[in-house]
Structure 1
Amino acid sequence: MRLQRLIIGIQILLLLILLSSKGMAANCDSSPFIAPETDRNRLESGLTGKWVQSFDEKRLTIKDIDGNSWDYYAIEKKPENPQGLVLFLHGFPEFAHAWEQQLEYFGNTHHAVAIDLKGHHYSSSPDNIEEYDFIELAWETRALIRCLGYDTATIVGHDFGGALGWIMGMLHPDAVDGLVILSVPHPYLFGRALLDPNSDQAQRSRYMDYARGTTLSDQLNFSKIIFSDLSIFESGFYSGTRILRLMLENWVPTSRWKTMKHYYRAMPYPANEQDYPVKLTAFQKKIYSVKRPTLFLWGLSDPYFAPETLNGIEELVPDLELIIYPNGTHWLHHEAEDLNLRIDTFLSRILP
């Protein structure tokens, strides 16, 4: 029963409440990060374009709920007296530097940190699919917040990073100041839409069957669908040779595609009525409700997520600000010229 995963998440949350900040810090280690020599040489030579190299790079080592240790690569910028922690979580198939412009902007006032998600770029990439369960990843995100020296953070997430943000807002609201979610629907509304095989969302999500597969045919079909959408490169963020860094460091290693796609394999898919009933019980609604202020950004030209998944969002996210970009694609964090201003205004509202 996949709903049991959410119940386990609640049990984990209760366990976390019993843990002191000192105890969490003991399960964490922060150390300087040095990139592989080949990657470092390419970056310093300018062969992969001009990137901000002034960010502090760290390796954050935390322990998960089972006691396993995982390394997370992080880049950060912060002033002398930061106004709280803002944690940026990228999506598939990007890496921490996808938030380069946001770190430059918010690092002047806040402790701005972007991480490589597990299975991506320089972070740990275990082979076990269970290590990519979103409930476990949320526990690790909470541990990362503590490792950075905070009890709470504002989480800004895109795609898989946004899905992780939804879980944090549902199961770990005491570790969240607020959520900024880009280009990914609420898990319950996404599941409800998938239950109808004829829905717009079900048709858009057909690539997930290939993403979860392991045969050569699955891989070819997945690549055909994913690379038919090149809008990720149209904003100018990966202009010129900058695209080479994303490719050479995160796409070319074939093992990276395997672990990045483990997110699809770990998802509760296909959807079923038991996990996503048409009418939620009081207990289920408490689980699926987001308890923290949320800024939700959505592009109507996103080929992966249908507008129908927005129906009913207000009931599950009481403190919601929904921004619609009529021409926005899936890559709003690279396209929306007002993104930093909107996030800044949101932070001014939710932080003391």
Structure 2
Amino acid sequence: MACWKATLQLAIVKLLCVYYSAQVLLMIVVKFFIKPHSKFWVVKKRPYPPQCLLKHNYGVSKYVTVNGIKLHYVENGDPSKPLILFVHGFPEFWFSWRHQMEEFSKDYWVVAVDMRGYGDSDKPEGVEPYRIENMVQDLKELINSLDRKKVTLVAHDWGAVICWDFLSQHMDMVEKYIMMDAPSRPVLRKLIMTTKKQFKMSWYTFFFQMPQLPEFFIRMDDLRMFDAVFRKHINAEEVEAFKYTFAKKDALTGPVNYYRANNSRSMKSVRVLDEIQHAPGLYLLGEKDMYISEESGPLMQEQFHNLEFRIVLGVDHFLQQHNPVLVNRLMREFLEKK
């Protein structure tokens, strides 16, 4: 029975991958015939970073080799103070946490990491290196390399997906945690399979299973996707920081491989740690999130005890950049609770 279900699930995933890929291919073909000389597939060269990536008030770049991977991170604040580790999602890098780095470096030692495959961290070839268990181990060894036994975790999108797994295995290493705009794998799988809303929201996860085409799509019109995702909330120079980072050679394959390596077939159940005390947690979800359903909140509270759930009004999926003042206030209120 289990084998039959797995085969059916695989067939459905492949059909959905082909379906959404066909729509994207049709759009590309139409675009080519309308503007055959536009070279919309070419990304312009960006040899120099925009000035906003060189600002020292965000922090100082450092590197560490953990789990066989060289990770880049940016740190700020006093290393003698409690550590906050910021873990970004897709399509982001450490820079997504710039507002939080400035705010919380006053009271904490803050570290924002480029996850494997992203930014200036190593980008291993193939799909298997991007399985979630590898990133969980990356984070564990990173915390150990920073010589800390306890950490406050703050994570967004794919970073949150990974950190829910981290919590299930290493809750003893966590003082507090704040997750944003992504539930755990079992909850996401349940929502995709049982609700039309989350199923429709997750269309791109099926498209991202296709080889090469997702990278081509993201690169189109000089990485126009980043304008569509961020331009409403951040200035042109900050959008250029994302384009500069993702225009680099092989900068997109690693991030998309997170989807390929961790599709619905690989969503193993995350054990609930009833036998130990859960660290206090906060799950934030943007009111206007286009990718994650608000139904994820109560389900996450069932899985993780001692977890608060808040809808952040007026913001979308990238809430820490959309309204950093509000998000920072909610974070600080939570972190200062006794």
If the TM-score is normalised by the length of the shorter chain, which range does it land in?
0.7 to 0.9
Residues 48 and 244, structure 1, Cα contact 8 Å, conserved in 2:
no
Q: Deviations over 1:150-189 (max 9, x none)?
A: 0121110011111122111111101111111111123221
Residues 210 and 221, structure 1, Cα contact 8 Å, conserved in 2:
no
Q: Name which of 121, 124, 127 aligns with 1:123.
A: 121
- The one-letter code of the counterpart of 1:253 is K
Residues 210 and 222, structure 1, Cα contact 8 Å, conserved in 2:
no
Change (3 A) 1:169 1:89: same
**C-alpha separation between the residues in 2 aligned to 1:233 and 1:270?**
34
1:7 aligned residue: none
1:61 aligned residue: 65
Residues 295 and 322, structure 1, Cα contact 8 Å, conserved in 2:
yes
How far is the alpha carbon of 1:234 from its aligned partner?
1.5
- The one-letter code of the counterpart of 1:235 is H
Aligned-residue RMSD, C-alpha = 2.9
**C-alpha separation between the residues in 1 aligned to 2:186 and 2:314?**
25
How far is the alpha carbon of 1:222 from its aligned partner?
6.8
1:347 aligned residue: 335
1:12 aligned residue: none
Residues 194 and 271, structure 1, Cα contact 8 Å, conserved in 2:
no
The answer to whether residue 213 in structure 2 is matched with residue 210 in structure 1 is: no
1:302 aligned residue: 289
Change (3 A) 1:80 1:92: closer
**C-alpha separation between the residues in 2 aligned to 1:284 and 1:144?**
23
Change (3 A) 1:343 1:325: closer
Q: Deviations over 1:44-95 (max 9, x none)?
A: xxx5447522422110111x2xxxx21110111122641x110001111111
5+ residue gaps, structure 2: 4-44
- The one-letter code of the counterpart of 1:301 is K
State the aligned residue count.
290
**C-alpha separation between the residues in 2 aligned to 1:193 and 1:271?**
16
- The one-letter code of the counterpart of 1:241 is E
1:315 aligned residue: 302
1:259 aligned residue: 254
5+ residue gaps, structure 1: 3-37, 277-282
**C-alpha separation between the residues in 2 aligned to 1:188 and 1:290?**
21
Q: Secondary structure of 1:93's match?
A: coil
Q: Deviations over 1:201-254 (max 9, x none)?
A: 1111111121121154x5566778x93982422122xx1222222111x22125
Q: Secondary structure of 2:305's match?
A: coil
1:335 aligned residue: 322
Change (3 A) 1:142 1:100: same
- The one-letter code of the counterpart of 1:255 is D
Q: Deviations over 1:250-271 (max 9, x none)?
A: 2212511111111001114247
TM-score by length of 2: 0.77
Q: Secondary structure of 2:155's match?
A: strand
TM-score by length of 1: 0.74
Q: Secondary structure of 2:117's match?
A: coil
Residues 169 and 290, structure 1, Cα contact 8 Å, conserved in 2:
no
2:24 aligned residue: none
1:35 aligned residue: none
Matches within 5 A, 1:266-285: 266-270=261-265, 275=268, 284-285=271-272
Residues 77 and 113, structure 1, Cα contact 8 Å, conserved in 2:
yes
1:292 aligned residue: 279
- The one-letter code of the counterpart of 1:77 is N
Change (3 A) 1:269 1:229: farther
1:182 aligned residue: 180
How far is the alpha carbon of 1:111 from its aligned partner?
0.8
How far is the alpha carbon of 1:309 from its aligned partner?
2.5
Structure of higher RCO (CA pairs closer than 8 Å, 6+ residues apart): 2
1:139 aligned residue: 137
**C-alpha separation between the residues in 1 aligned to 2:237 and 2:296?**
36
- The one-letter code of the counterpart of 2:197 is D
- Give aligned-pair identity as a percent: 21
How far is the alpha carbon of 1:344 from its aligned partner?
2.0
Q: Secondary structure of 1:155's match?
A: strand
**C-alpha separation between the residues in 1 aligned to 2:150 and 2:55?**
27
How far is the alpha carbon of 1:135 from its aligned partner?
1.7
The answer to whether residue 153 in structure 2 is matched with residue 149 in structure 1 is: no
Change (3 A) 1:171 1:203: same
**C-alpha separation between the residues in 1 aligned to 2:164 and 2:104?**
22
- The one-letter code of the counterpart of 1:304 is Y
* 106-115 or 334-343: bigger deviation: 334-343
Q: Secondary structure of 1:126's match?
A: coil
